[in-house]
Structure 1
């Protein structure tokens, strides 16, 4: 399906549904061949599509620069803004999520309830939780309780719910989704019209997706004292994804129209090959794939060859330092000048091919969340078991051979892995670096980096603020002054200024979110 056309199509369907429910007096002389209400079974594909293409990719595009996955070759120009933290109110995750994705989620859940098909209610609430989660983890306070509900007239100046309230709402949505999936009195199957392009109607996988998301959002509360509950997180992980092949992801198509292909395939989602947003993977990412945590022992992760291309000149892997562009060369040394000397971004490997899937959440992430929860509860042995499965499952997904996996794991053990887990910082260094690798290009990585305070004790000495930093906002002399959140978009700021509040870049970009404050 053409992704962008489908966004329009399903938005119009949502509008038709809302209109038909509010103006029943127009039901006279209805044309049976032109229905104003579409069944829930025909809405699921649009819900998944818009949540991915309209919301998730839009929320990942610039964050890929912030988290230093991708770097531009340009030394000047607006396409370098993301990696140097120059953000304004023209960032569009907010608009895309509230215009396209959320109405589809809400409408499908309402239709499922009306039709006696609770599994569609569950799917709608799961996807709604994903959208609210992405929004609040980038902005903080968001519109939730007074947002679109498919029944009431839409408010043009809705209140902003604080992040703690939003997190409680997300958890409630996921609990309700689990109850809905457990309901066996369901009239229409999720894949009745071929619309379940994620799980082909497998209700158990949808249920496990809800549990996996509960684990993710509970794990974000690691700085919130008693609100961080290791037992609840481990319980959610146990009920979540439990084997390979369960990842919740959007499948793109190869040899199709450009909008059916993975957006990272075409120069990081931009159409101009001469002015790309992301040209190469960063040297920081290369270092994570070339060194072990804690000791910084040099060892090449076999996944690097599945993710990026080596330099054709010498077969080595290298990246660029954020903010310097190609003129800066590897790590800013200027040693290499040819663009082919760096790890190509677009169409280079597992994550950026035309048909590369774009995951919402994976089995590997769930196991690494479990590893963190067990480590924080002093279950070192359990943390190591979960960590091992999280790492190896991602390797299997990327096509790493059993022999390569065994060699990599043996080398980690020899480098002191077990001893590192007896220290929380050492254990978190392993877990968070692996989450960075396994969550490649996913905006969820930004949550982890902020929770870990962008610590070099966790991510290693290669993690540094970008060159040519936005010093209008950030202190050039304070190495701990890192970006914390996004600016609300101008349409919300202009229409709803009282509820948005202070939307200056200095306040928004520098103020830690609720879950990132003790």
Structure 2
């Protein structure tokens, strides 16, 4: 299996980051989806991938890691977020600038170009990216524009589609992607323009199957039968850590990872007190990898060129463990649970400490005594600052989180200010708050 591509096209970062600071959802867009000859796919794909990774590991991670208590806000803007004071304008760049006007508008042009020219692997990748991105958007905001979206100034007020209908389209896109990626790639192949898998179509098929499993896991709260759908898709999903979907950032100022760029200029946040206490209570050596203690006050430290995961083998094994628990019981869940922890320790460079860790009965109580609480607690620990943890917590309530303030922990992001102001179909902030549940998050 091809290793994850190391990002070397620094001009991609320069372009993307020059566009991410103050974009307007309904303003000019980078590309015209009705003019598929304006640019070539090898230019579009890398900037789409970088922008998606930057959104997932940037604004989304910052906001949702406060909700999940992976982080605590200590000063300035983050102190406001700590008390759930996130406002519609705080998510403008994430919702409009990066995800809608950025990733998905550019991706629609890539798809139109690839479909017109018969570049099947590009077409498949573009559908996988759209499915992934729309899943994020509807999981974080609930009902959102989709069927009438991506028309630029031709339609400034697209309707809001029901989340259930969006999920139908997400699964359809994934199946289309798998079909396109499973055949001839066409005259032009992605190759090095694909920063995640180097154009490896088989790797993308595994990504699609694992993504579909993630989607069915979200919907399991509506219907337990979806747990079997999770297992069916994971059977053809990620098989090792080499399959991880990651974008590796660079070391130059314009190409560094999103958290590094943010923290380099600010010291607003620190690793969550409750998160650290949980890890310490379990003698978890990963605590010193996720947040190395400093002897003097200062900025938290992040790696310049760290890889931003979008979907990983660790997550896949935890999904498998949860689904096996719900379908076949504790004994069936036991091995994928241990595999998930082992993969997490390998990611942290702590292979030699794995055996001692799982030797504790608090971690491995034996196959017959394993519970959902064990699985979800370990997933919560392993997926530090990953926005997917927010969906896990909403589905399972594990770990139990005491609100930072007030009576409840938020269950969604607020609709963006530009959407509220310029799309007449956007629900009023008074009608839909951060404490309201998305459709699959049933009580």
Q: Fold conserved (TM > 0.5)?
A: yes
Structure 1 residue runs of 5 or longer lacking an equivalent are 22-35, 292-298, 313-337, 422-426, 470-475
**Deviations along 1:302-326, whole A, 9 cap, x unmatched?**
22222221354xxxxxxxxxxxxxx
TM-score between both structures, scaled by the size of structure 1: 0.76
Say if 1:413 and 1:83 are closer, same or farther in 2 by CA, change over 3 A.
closer
Given candidates 185, 199, 202, the residue that maps to 2:200 is 202
- Does 1:287 pair with 2:277? yes
Aligned length: 425
Q: CA deviation at 1:38?
A: 2.0
Given candidates 316, 331, 336, the residue that maps to 1:386 is 336
Partner of 2:395: 451
On the 8 A contact 1:14/1:107 being kept in 2, the answer is no
Q: CA deviation at 1:143?
A: 0.8
Say if 1:359 and 1:400 are closer, same or farther in 2 by CA, change over 3 A.
same
Q: CA deviation at 1:411?
A: 2.0
| In 1: Cα distance, 2:180 partner to 2:278 partner | 41
- Does 1:236 pair with 2:233? yes
| In 2: Cα distance, 1:49 partner to 1:198 partner | 9
- Does 1:272 pair with 2:274? no
TM-score between both structures, scaled by the size of structure 2: 0.89
Q: How does 1:30-429 map to 2 (within 5 A)?
A: 37-54=38-55, 57-74=58-75, 77-90=76-89, 91-92=91-92, 93-96=94-97, 97-148=99-150, 154-191=154-191, 194-225=192-223, 228-254=225-251, 256-257=252-253, 259-266=254-261, 269-270=262-263, 272-273=265-266, 276-278=267-269, 280-291=270-281, 299-310=282-293, 312=295, 339=297, 346-347=300-301, 352-401=302-351, 403-412=352-361, 416-421=365-370, 427-429=371-373
**Deviations along 1:437-495, whole A, 9 cap, x unmatched?**
22211111111111123xxxx326xx3211xx2xxxxxx4x4xx221112111111111
Say if 1:412 and 1:110 are closer, same or farther in 2 by CA, change over 3 A.
farther
Q: CA deviation at 1:54?
A: 4.0
User: Which 4+ stretches in 1 moved above 6 angstroms?
Assistant: 9-14
Structure 2 residue runs of 5 or longer lacking an equivalent are 1-9
CA RMSD across the alignment: 2.5
Q: Max radius of gyration: which structure?
A: 1
| In 2: Cα distance, 1:288 partner to 1:250 partner | 29
Partner of 1:495: 422
On the 8 A contact 1:126/1:210 being kept in 2, the answer is yes
| In 1: Cα distance, 2:432 partner to 2:29 partner | 35
On the 8 A contact 2:342/2:354 being kept in 1, the answer is yes
On the 8 A contact 1:121/1:177 being kept in 2, the answer is yes
| In 2: Cα distance, 1:9 partner to 1:264 partner | 17
Q: CA deviation at 1:420?
A: 3.2
Say if 1:55 and 1:459 are closer, same or farther in 2 by CA, change over 3 A.
closer
On the 8 A contact 2:131/2:174 being kept in 1, the answer is yes
